[in-house]
Amino acid sequence: MAGLPPSGTVLCDVADLDATGAKGISLGDGADRMGIFIVRDGAGVFGYVNSCPHIGVPLDLEPDEFISNLGHDIICSTHGARFRVEDGHCISGPCAGDALAPVAVKIDNEKIVLA
Number of domains in the chain: 1
CATH of the domain at 106: 2.102.10.10
Domain that holds residue 82: 10-114
Asked if the structure places residue 2 within a domain, the reply is: no
Asked if the structure places residue 5 within a domain, the reply is: no
pTM above 0.85, yes or no: yes
pLDDT digits (tens, 9 = 90+) for 43-83: 789 999 999 998 889 999 899 999 988 768 999 999 899 99
pLDDT at 94 over 70: yes
What is the chain's mean pLDDT, rounded? 90
Counting Cα atoms < 13 Å in the Cβ hemisphere of 1 gives: 17
Asked if the structure places residue 1 within a domain, the reply is: no
**Which of these, 109, 106, 80, lies nearest to 92 by C-alpha position?**
80
Q: With beta carbons less than 8 A apart as the criterion, state whether 103 and 5 touch.
A: no
